[in-house]
Amino acid sequence: MFQSLQLRSDLLEVAETMIEKLKVLSIENGGQLVAIDFRSDMLNKKSCMVVRGRRKSCYNASEVAEFLKKLRFNANSVVYLTETWWHGELNPLKEAFPRTYTKDDIIPAEKKRQFLQVGNRDLQKALDFHICSNSDTFVPAISGLFYGNVAGQRIISGRTQILVPSQVVGSPAAPSDFMSAYVSKKSHLAYSCLC
């Protein structure tokens, strides 16, 4: 099932170029590559609001930066955001992790017009899917279908470092305390496909 989520060769070439650039940057700086599914357009929607004590399902840039710092992520870590363009709401992440990038920052210049123009949202999500599936760590700042699909792809490829943001109170915490239930409880459908 999850093997069918393969990119066409032209998309794969661009996605691989982008992830290679990010991985080189992370190796050069002694950090790791953290991909964050972050969509600022969702933060003010009703689905992101905490209702009647339910667990929060959306985190802003400041909250994600604080979460990563509490988990002792190195400031040299390379962070990829699933945003197309940079905007001021992302600044707290850039301040904590100076090597934070969006698609516009890392896509090859000759491919920007093809992939980043308005109306190519599906192409952009395909790039995000590939990068999030192949990063060292995946952080879903927004819960939803994209998170579930990336988690499935990561599980079948053995990349199970999926950390779900939460408020970290007090001193630094261990990443294992924030492992996705998809992994820690083996609750993802991908586990039923792995025999």
Domains of the chain listed by start with CATH number: 2-44+56-193 (3.40.50)
pLDDT digit string, tens, across residues 66-108: 999 999 999 999 999 999 999 999 999 999 999 999 999 999 9
| pLDDT score at 1 | 46
pLDDT digit string, tens, across residues 37-58: 998 877 766 667 665 555 677 8
Contacts of residue 122, Cβ cutoff 8 Å, sequence gap at least 6: none
Read off the pLDDT of each residue in 141-148 and give the average, rounded to a whole number.
92
Top-confidence residue, 166 or 1: 166
| pLDDT score at 91 | 97
Residue 94's CB is within 10 A of a number of other CB atoms, namely 16
Cite the DSSP H helix spans in the chain: 9-28, 61-70, 91-96, 103-106, 112-116, 121-134, 145-156, 181-184, 189-193
